[in-house]
A and B are shown apart, each in its own frame.
Chain A
């Protein structure tokens, strides 16, 4: 994999030498004057739920952009500020009391923008990255398909070349917020006569156009954030190929690296905090709030559980910092990004379990319908353990590509894809 630049964000000082402290002071002033405060008890995630269209997020992102605080770690030529990860972290800390367009963080800014930075043509980068930073373009990733979960490279959506265009047919699933989004990076099969990894191509795909139907999927907790898309003879200009034709797996691998970084908390392109949950130093603890609401802060069992969750959250952010540093300095290989991802997912499972215990009877039945309903939160306990690579896949990555253990047997290895059994 070619190592380009979206990883080598400057560590401390910037070209113009603005110190983190000076930047922080400037950011604090600007935030106070420009960004609305979070209402009491609200998180950006909660506000985002009431902003299904994303219009609020787009307005907030525009405010950041106009104020010179969008894309803090992005290169200046594409509308960013060219500052370091430490500047970004300082900004995030200062932003905690404020409303922030955190919907833009994942996947638009922390996954898709850096993938374009790595593999896009100059024309593609100029066309899209400033538009993302200014709030004009929300992006999603079209990777998973109904036919296969973890076996991403076995996908069967096809893009067939026809002159200056590719014609797209098939279906994608688990795209988050596709209905409100503008563009996607879409991985499709362009050659069926070669082994599965060698016949894929990554495309920039405009979502709202004839031939594309987007359906929201109703989840166990009643939300409809995830979508499925159906493609029926959708033309894609050949100029929207990202990277090389049939080299889409390389692009997808990099995209997944950015995804692991984002879900593991190590991305330099995330600005602001969506929720008070895992891993954010100085954040309030939802479990502590729950213990207070249920009047159980003096119960030694509850004290142990709340503290355990705090320990896990602290360790998670310490681990993210360690692995991020290790990857940057070369002490760890790139796939080590799977380590904090697995930690974040298993920590989330434990976090929900602890909440279920502290919530007590109220998790299953309640009178006051305005109170936090931990039981409903709990229904999506496995979300992080499935999305962005299941825990089992992360464990494969860690054992095989960090510890160097033998790869799992695969019946499709080195076989032309049209000879491989698939759904």
Chain B
């Protein structure tokens, strides 16, 4: 948690936590994993949207609004709380697409798509049809051929988070020397969704296939051929939300692992009394606080659109992406055998954190971005 949040933000955080604890405790997450093909229930997502889960990056004139005037700093509070309970729901893709529409959409596009996203009636997915900001989605490509002022899309991409649930797709493609972004309703002719699999129990992925999908001129978002900075911004928002989610997840798992160390006795002593283990907990605490610090710093930089944002986002992803799974595996080790059973909750956290680590750039990918930012 950011140590500098306001009273209003603190209240928002508590409201979000109470809502998640009462509507979606871990037993519910486990039930949704088996019972719910989408991984989340639409009416639950709509309740979340009423709390502001998709309004923070959208201006008030477009039906959005934030708590603090710094929408991303409010939204990371939601992401962190969702990480603590490994909550379902397309928080990242829907907000990334909403932010993209809010930033670069025409009045017509904003009027058409934003109200549904903000009030939770619709959800969205971001399809990377080409490498974006140094991050390549498994080499899959969607080609775009200009036609009648718009484009025709062909190709396949994925795995795309919420690709099978999304009502609206934002597709980023390469056109000539630049990037172009298209807004495509998922029921447009030629769009087909195929199966994909995810490590997380409630986060759904899909392949999205584009077969001669016609994008009319008003389906192009922002400047055609000149969307690289928009796409960079989207990546930054996605990575900031991932970072907050990973930190929330590790924070919670560390909490219950410390409790376990006090409660569990061997040789007549609590685990927490052994120096060999205390020192491991000290290291984990240090990594965890460092992860909090860099997640918060990245969020602030992106919120302010700082010139350092690209580097600080990649600093955060690189650091948290390396340390979050490592801390969780230490938590497994400190729990002993129970930690590798299905019954224990730790694997839910590892699944979430490894998923976040692997999407939108691995730590190694982001170190390369840092090297570039350093002028190498």
Could you list which residues of chain A lie within 8 angstroms of chain B, going by C-beta atoms?
285, 288, 291, 297, 300, 303-304, 306-308, 310-312, 314-316, 318-319, 321-323, 325-326, 329, 331, 339, 342-343, 346, 392, 394-400, 402-403, 405-406, 408
Residue of A291, A307, A316, A319 with highest tally of chain B CB at under 10 A: A307
From the candidates B3, B279, B312, B367, name the one contacting A304 in the complex (CB within 8 A).
B367
CA distance A395 to B258 in the complex (A): 15
Question: A400 to chain B: which residues have CB within 8 Å?
Answer: 278
Question: B312 to chain A: which residues have CB within 8 Å?
Answer: 314
Is A339 a contact partner of B289 (Cβ separation < 8 A)?
yes
Is B290 a contact partner of A303 (Cβ separation < 8 A)?
no
Query: What would 9 A/B residue contacts be, using CB atoms closer than 8 Å?
Result: A304-B368, A306-B371, A307-B376, A308-B367, A310-B370, A325-B4, A329-B3, A396-B275, A399-B278
Query: A307-B318, A406-B273 known; A396 and B292 CB under 8 Å?
Result: no
Question: A343 to chain B: which residues have CB within 8 Å?
Answer: 286, 290
CA distance A189 to B85 in the complex (A): 53
Query: A314-B315, A395-B283 known; A322 and B292 CB under 8 Å?
Result: yes
Is B289 a contact partner of A405 (Cβ separation < 8 A)?
no
Is A405 a contact partner of B318 (Cβ separation < 8 A)?
no
Question: A398 to chain B: which residues have CB within 8 Å?
Answer: 281-282, 285-286
Is A405 a contact partner of B278 (Cβ separation < 8 A)?
yes
CA distance A348 to B371 in the complex (A): 19
Shortest CB–CB separation between residue B374 and chain A, in angstroms?
Answer: 6
Is A403 a contact partner of B281 (Cβ separation < 8 A)?
yes
B270: interface (CB < 8 Å): yes
Is A408 a contact partner of B275 (Cβ separation < 8 A)?
yes
From the candidates B281, B293, B375, name the one contacting A321 in the complex (CB within 8 A).
B293
B297: interface (CB < 8 Å): yes
Majority SS at the chain B contact face: helix
Is B285 a contact partner of A311 (Cβ separation < 8 A)?
no
Q: Which 5 residue pairs are nearest across A and B when measured between Cβ atoms?
A: A399-B278, A395-B282, A398-B282, A307-B367, A322-B293
Shortest CB–CB separation between residue A311 and chain B, in angstroms?
Answer: 5
Is A319 a contact partner of B279 (Cβ separation < 8 A)?
no
CA distance A312 to B290 in the complex (A): 10
Query: A319-B293, A339-B286, A398-B286 known; A288 and B367 CB under 8 Å?
Result: no
Query: A395-B283, A399-B281 known; A288 and B261 CB under 8 Å?
Result: no
CA distance A399 to B282 in the complex (A): 5
CA distance A318 to B292 in the complex (A): 9
Question: B282 to chain A: which residues have CB within 8 Å?
Answer: 342, 394-399, 403
Is B286 a contact partner of A311 (Cβ separation < 8 A)?
no
B95: interface (CB < 8 Å): no
| Contact bitstring B271-312, A, C-beta under 8 A = 1, else 0 | 011010011011101100110111011000000000000011
CA distance A397 to B368 in the complex (A): 36
Question: A314 to chain B: which residues have CB within 8 Å?
Answer: 294, 297, 311-312, 315
From the candidates A310, A312, A405, name the one contacting B281 in the complex (CB within 8 A).
A405
Shortest CB–CB separation between residue B267 and chain A, in angstroms?
Answer: 14
CA distance A325 to B4 in the complex (A): 8
Number of A-B contacts (CB under 8 A): 118
Residue of A306, A311, A321 with highest tally of chain B CB at under 10 A: A311
Shortest CB–CB separation between residue A410 and chain B, in angstroms?
Answer: 12
Query: A304-B367, A399-B281 known; A291 and B376 CB under 8 Å?
Result: yes
Question: B273 to chain A: which residues have CB within 8 Å?
Answer: 405-406
Question: B69 to chain A: which residues have CB within 8 Å?
Answer: none
Question: B289 to chain A: which residues have CB within 8 Å?
Answer: 319, 322-323, 339
Question: B371 to chain A: which residues have CB within 8 Å?
Answer: 303-304, 306-307
CA distance A326 to B292 in the complex (A): 12
Q: Which residue of A lies closest to B269 (CB)?
A: A406
Question: A318 to chain B: which residues have CB within 8 Å?
Answer: 290, 293-294, 296-297
Residue of A288, A300, A306, A405 with highest tally of chain B CB at under 10 A: A405
CA distance A316 to B289 in the complex (A): 10
From the candidates B272, B283, B315, name the one contacting A405 in the complex (CB within 8 A).
B272
Shortest CB–CB separation between residue A279 and chain B, in angstroms?
Answer: 12
Is B370 a contact partner of A307 (Cβ separation < 8 A)?
yes
Question: B275 to chain A: which residues have CB within 8 Å?
Answer: 396, 408
**Interface size bucket, B side?**
35 or more
Shortest CB–CB separation between residue A62 and chain B, in angstroms?
Answer: 36
Q: Which residue of B lies closest to A304 (CB)?
A: B367
B319: interface (CB < 8 Å): yes
Question: A319 to chain B: which residues have CB within 8 Å?
Answer: 289-290, 293-294
CA distance A185 to B364 in the complex (A): 48
From the candidates A297, A308, A311, A342, name the one contacting B376 in the complex (CB within 8 A).
A297
Residue of A314, A397, A398 with highest tally of chain B CB at under 10 A: A314
CA distance A399 to B286 in the complex (A): 10
Beyond A307-B376, A310-B315, 12 additional contacts (C-beta under 8 Å) are: A311-B367, A314-B315, A315-B315, A319-B289, A322-B3, A323-B289, A392-B279, A395-B278, A399-B278, A399-B285, A405-B278, A406-B270
Question: A408 to chain B: which residues have CB within 8 Å?
Answer: 275
Question: B318 to chain A: which residues have CB within 8 Å?
Answer: 307-308, 311
Question: A306 to chain B: which residues have CB within 8 Å?
Answer: 371, 374, 376
CA distance A221 to B261 in the complex (A): 43
Is B370 a contact partner of A339 (Cβ separation < 8 A)?
no
Shortest CB–CB separation between residue B135 and chain A, in angstroms?
Answer: 15
Residue of A318, A319, A392, A402 with highest tally of chain B CB at under 10 A: A318
CA distance A405 to B364 in the complex (A): 35
Q: Which residue of B lies closest to A281 (CB)?
A: B308
| Contact bitstring B343-376, A, C-beta under 8 A = 1, else 0 | 0000000000000000000001001101100111
Question: A316 to chain B: which residues have CB within 8 Å?
Answer: 290
Query: A308-B318, A311-B367, A398-B286 known; A303 and B376 CB under 8 Å?
Result: yes
Query: A403-B281, A405-B261 known; A342 and B374 CB under 8 Å?
Result: no
Q: Which residue of A lies closest to B279 (CB)?
A: A395
CA distance A310 to B294 in the complex (A): 13
From the candidates B262, B278, B370, B374, name the one contacting A396 in the complex (CB within 8 A).
B278
Shortest CB–CB separation between residue A412 and chain B, in angstroms?
Answer: 17
Shortest CB–CB separation between residue B9 and chain A, in angstroms?
Answer: 14
CA distance A176 to B367 in the complex (A): 37
Is A311 a contact partner of B290 (Cβ separation < 8 A)?
no
Is B3 a contact partner of A326 (Cβ separation < 8 A)?
yes
Is A307 a contact partner of B290 (Cβ separation < 8 A)?
no
CA distance A303 to B315 in the complex (A): 14
Question: A304 to chain B: which residues have CB within 8 Å?
Answer: 364, 367-368, 371
CA distance A300 to B371 in the complex (A): 10
